[in-house]
């Protein structure tokens, strides 16, 4: 029989993402409407260790839907990675009558959630990161808003590039995933894109810039993923200017991409995921991630989500892959392939229309 829930907790951990507040609001109100109390835990797992939490009412989450950041604040807590930290967190959950926790964040957050579940506190995850790099889901909260922010910023850069006949290298976030640079590259009409998943042909880009410039083009945007490594964008900026003669500037968009009012897509998906997370917990389903696939909510085992990520990032060993149940393994490999294929198709498309 499913455990009886009287009070659940909600926390946000890791890098914040626009839409986290919408998800918190949805979790709080979905639970309260089912007669369950909700404890807001501050600063992610640190709040569990430091006993920094408070009961939230439906009014406490009014007027947050449209705000970026997270009203519960966030943190990357090293102490929680130790058994001592986990023990303290579990003790505080028990002291505060917390029967289960909805955790909002990326893969680091879900690792923490698995540790808590393994120590007797049921957890369920909601994927929130602008990087969209959680393989089990098509979508992570914050991704759409971040892309719109990038587009807005780059449109502005293009205005000044056109006035001065310049090239702008734009470095964007996404950690090791190239979704933001590829999709935004298409959306802003980039002349070149560099992402870690695909080989980057620098000479081809430089020749293209020279030819386009001779052809009368005055503004050039080159999108670079931060995953290309430290110093890559600065080096590329210098080289483009030296080899093409086109004045070139670098813009590192950095954390501006993580802020701002969430888009409609982020608000809607966050609200759907928050509601479903509560439903899953109350139904006695733990250690799961509320995912999104082809427009529908899709539930994944947390362990499956981790392994999947390791496969996509090329980190899974042969033995690890062989240990997965064959039907699941086939599904994962096919999905990993189709994600890569998506990036390749978009990358090629961007190149074809960058005349």
Alpha-carbon distance of 182 to 132, in angstroms, equals 12
Active-site pick, 99, 131, 133, 266: 131
Contact (Cβ atoms closer than 8 angstroms) between residue 104 and residue 11: yes
Alpha-carbon distance of 335 to 131, in angstroms, equals 18
Catalytic residue check, 131: yes
Q: How far is the CB of 15 from ligand F6P (least distance, A)?
A: 3
Nearer to ligand F6P among residue 158 and residue 258 (C-beta): 258
Beta strands per DSSP E along 158-287? 167-172, 192-194, 220-225, 248-252
In sequence order, the 6+-apart residues with CB closer than 8 A to the CB of 102 are 8, 9, 10, 11, 27, 123, 124, 125, 126, 274, 277, 278, 281
What's the token pair of residue 230?
Answer: 């430290």
Q: How far is the CB of 146 from ligand F6P (least distance, A)?
A: 8
Alpha-carbon distance of 102 to 273, in angstroms, equals 11
Alpha-carbon distance of 72 to 39, in angstroms, equals 11
Nearer to ligand F6P among residue 71 and residue 333 (C-beta): 71
Q: How far is the CB of 68 from ligand F6P (least distance, A)?
A: 13
Nearer to ligand F6P among residue 186 and residue 256 (C-beta): 256
Nearer to ligand F6P among residue 67 and residue 76 (C-beta): 76
Q: How far is the CB of 76 from ligand F6P (least distance, A)?
A: 7
Of 221, 100, 233, the closest CA to residue 173 belongs to 233
As beta bridge partners, residue 124 has 102, 288
Q: How far is the CB of 39 from ligand F6P (least distance, A)?
A: 26
In sequence order, the 6+-apart residues with CB closer than 8 A to the CB of 200 are 194, 228
Nearer to ligand F6P among residue 173 and residue 311 (C-beta): 173
Nearer to ligand F6P among residue 47 and residue 100 (C-beta): 47
Q: How far is the CB of 172 from ligand F6P (least distance, A)?
A: 8
Distances (CA, A) of 68 to 39, 123, 248: 21, 24, 32
The backbone torsions φ and ψ at residue 327, rounded to the nearest 5 degrees and listed phi first, read -65, -40
- List of residues contacting ligand F6P (CB under 6 A): 15, 106, 129-131, 173-175, 226, 258
What is the set of active-site residues?
Answer: 131
């Amino acid at each position: 029989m499913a455990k009886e829930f009287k009070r659940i907790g909600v926390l946000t951990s890791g890098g914040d993402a626009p839409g986290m507040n919408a998800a918190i609001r949805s979790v709080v109100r979905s639970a309260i409407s089912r007669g369950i109390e909700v404890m807001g835990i501050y600063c992610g797992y640190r709040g569990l260790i430091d006993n920094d939490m408070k009961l939230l009412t439906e009014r406490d989450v009014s007027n947050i839907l449209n705000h970026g950041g997270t009203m519960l604040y966030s943190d990357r807590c090293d102490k929680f990675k130790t058994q001592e930290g986990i023990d303290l967190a579990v003790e505080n959950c028990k002291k505060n009558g917390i029967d289960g926790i909805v955790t909002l964040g990326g893969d680091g957050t879900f690792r923490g959630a698995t540790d808590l579940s393994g120590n007797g506190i049921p957890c369920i995850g909601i994927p929130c990161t602008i990087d969209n790099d959680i393989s089990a889901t098509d979508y992570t909260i914050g991704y759409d808003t971040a892309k719109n922010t990038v587009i807005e910023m780059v449109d502005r850069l293009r205005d000044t590039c056109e006035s001065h006949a310049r090239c702008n290298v734009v470095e964007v976030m996404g950690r090791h995933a190239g979704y933001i640079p590829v999709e935004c590259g298409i959306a802003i009409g980039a002349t070149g894109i560099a992402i870690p998943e695909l080989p980057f042909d620098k000479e081809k880009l430089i020749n293209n810039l020279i030819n386009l410039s001779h052809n009368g083009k005055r503004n050039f945007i080159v999108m670079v993923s931060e995953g290309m490594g430290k110093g890559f964008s600065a080096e590329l900026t210098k080289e483009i200017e030296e080899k093409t003669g086109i004045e070139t500037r670098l813009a590192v968009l950095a954390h501006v991409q993580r802020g701002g009012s969430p888009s409609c897509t982020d608000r809607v998906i966050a609200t759907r995921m928050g509601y479903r997370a509560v439903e899953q917990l109350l139904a006695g389903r733990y250690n799961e991630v509320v995912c999104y696939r082809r427009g529908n909510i899709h539930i994944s085992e947390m362990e499956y989500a981790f392994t999947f990520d390791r496969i996509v990032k090329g980190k899974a060993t042969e033995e690890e892959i062989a240990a997965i149940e064959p039907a699941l393994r086939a599904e994962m490999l096919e999905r990993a392939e189709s994600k890569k294929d998506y990036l390749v198709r978009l990358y090629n498309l961007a190149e074809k229309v960058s005349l």
